Amino acid sequence: MTTQPIKALHLYRQILRAAKTFPSPADRSYILHETPRLFRANASLTSPAAISARLFEAESRLALGLHYGIPYPRPSNVSPGETGQTRGAERIAYMASYGGVG
C-alpha cells in the first residue's frame, strides 16, 4: 500500500478533529460538510502528482484555518485597480479544488 491513501486518511481525520476547535457553530458545520465533499470529489484522482497537489491543498487550508481561525478558502490578494481576472498565472495552490492550480 502506498503512503498517499494513509496520508489522506490521516489528514481527513485531522481536519475533522480541528473542526471542534472552531467556536462558531457555522464554521464547524462548514468544515464538517465541506471536508467530505472535497475528499469525495478528489477520490477519483489517479495521478500521484495530482493526489500530492490535493493533499498539499488540504494541509495548507488546515494550517491557514487554524492560524487565522477562518475555515473558508482565502483568495490571493489583488493589487488596487485590478479585477483579479488578469492574474490567472498567480493562482494559489490551496484553491485548486475551487478552479485554481491543478
Burial of 84-96, coded b for 16+ CB within 10 Å and e otherwise, reads: eeeeeeebeebbb
Taking the model in full, what pTM does it have? 0.76
- pLDDT of 80: 61
pLDDT in tens, 9-65: 999 999 999 999 999 999 999 999 999 999 999 999 999 999 999 999 999 999 989
CB atoms within 10 A of CB 100: 17
pLDDT in tens, 61-88: 999 899 999 898 876 665 666 655 555 5
pLDDT reading at 98 higher than 70: no
- pLDDT of 27: 95
